[in-house]
Amino acid sequence: MREVSAGDDAADARWFPLDAIPQLGFDHNRIVNDAIECIKREKS
C-alpha cells in the first residue's frame, strides 16, 4: 500500500476501508460514493 501524508490544507490523512469511510468535509463523501458506484458498474 502506498504511503499517504497530509498536505498543508489537511491535519491528517489515512487510508480507510471502503465500508468504513468517515465523515469528510464539503461534498467529498458524495464524490467518494459516486466513484465507488462507478467502479462497481464497470466491474459488472
Q: Is residue 38 part of a domain?
A: yes
Instruction: Tell me if the pTM is above 0.95.
Output: no
Q: Is residue 8 part of a domain?
A: no
Alpha carbon dihedral 22, 32, 26, 3, in 10-degree steps, equals 70
Domain that holds residue 31: 19-44
In tens digits, the chain (44 residues) has pLDDT values of: 889 888 888 888 899 999 999 999 899 999 999 999 999 999 98
Please tell me the predicted confidence (pLDDT) of residue 36.
95
Please tell me the predicted confidence (pLDDT) of residue 34.
98
Cell reading at 27: 461534498
Q: Is residue 27 part of a domain?
A: yes
| C-beta atoms surrounding 26 within 10 Å | 7
